[in-house]
Amino acid sequence: MYSEKMVAVPESGSDMVTTVWSLYQAGTFFSALVVAGVADRDPSNFFWVCLPIAAQLALPVGAGWLGEKRVVGGFRREKISANGRYFFLGSMMGMAAIGLGAASLWASVLMQAVYSIIVGVVLCGMSLWWLPPMHGMFGGRTWAESCAPAGRARFLS
């Protein structure tokens, strides 16, 4: 949305981008302060501390104050059928993140580590198996080019 405003008022230059990124960094700094304040106590309090911060977005979005164009509602099956692999892998990543959140609330640190390793390996394997080589092997190629010996890097590429 702000890119449209930049085109409408070209003399603003990079001021709008600078403002957006400054606010983003201020929010990141604030979130680091919240995390630092809560981390020494019970980590399960993160949910209750972050819930009102996340919920404050509901009113501007619901009231239409953000100036975004509304899209047609409804479930678009053609989008899912055209990009089924991406949708399924994204859904699996979302479920894995929710699972890690639950593990961080109720499981031990060892169990969280085991869960993270197993889910990470499964999701990486799924991305290598289901996605096109350009998307699925990007992380593997980056690792191979930076860490592996030259012969093995050529083999993995």
- Write the pLDDT tens digit of every residue in 77-131: 888 888 888 888 889 999 999 999 888 888 888 999 999 999 999 998 888 888 7
Residue found by looking up tokens 């201020």 in the block: 26
Average pLDDT, the chain: 77
**Per-residue pLDDT at 34 exceeds 80:** no
pLDDT at position 153 is 43
pTM of the model: 0.45
* Start-to-end C-alpha separation, the chain: 39
- Write the pLDDT tens digit of every residue in 55-65: 888 888 888 78
CA angle 68, 90, 93 (to 5 degrees): 120
pLDDT at position 143 is 45
Tokens in use for 56? 């404050």
Average pLDDT over residues 12-35: 82
pLDDT at position 13 is 67
Give the pLDDT band (50/70/90) at residue 146: very low
Cα separation of 100 and 105, whole Å?
9
Question: Please, which residues have CB within 8 angstroms of residue 145's CB and are 6 or more apart in sequence?
Answer: 153, 157
**Per-residue pLDDT at 148 exceeds 70:** no
Give the pLDDT band (50/70/90) at residue 138: low
pLDDT at position 1 is 63
Core vs surface per residue 80-97: b (16+ CB within 10 A) or e: eeeeeeeeebeeeeeebe
Give the pLDDT band (50/70/90) at residue 152: very low
Q: Where does residue 9 rank: exposed (0-12), middle (13-18), buried (19+ CB within 10 A)?
A: exposed
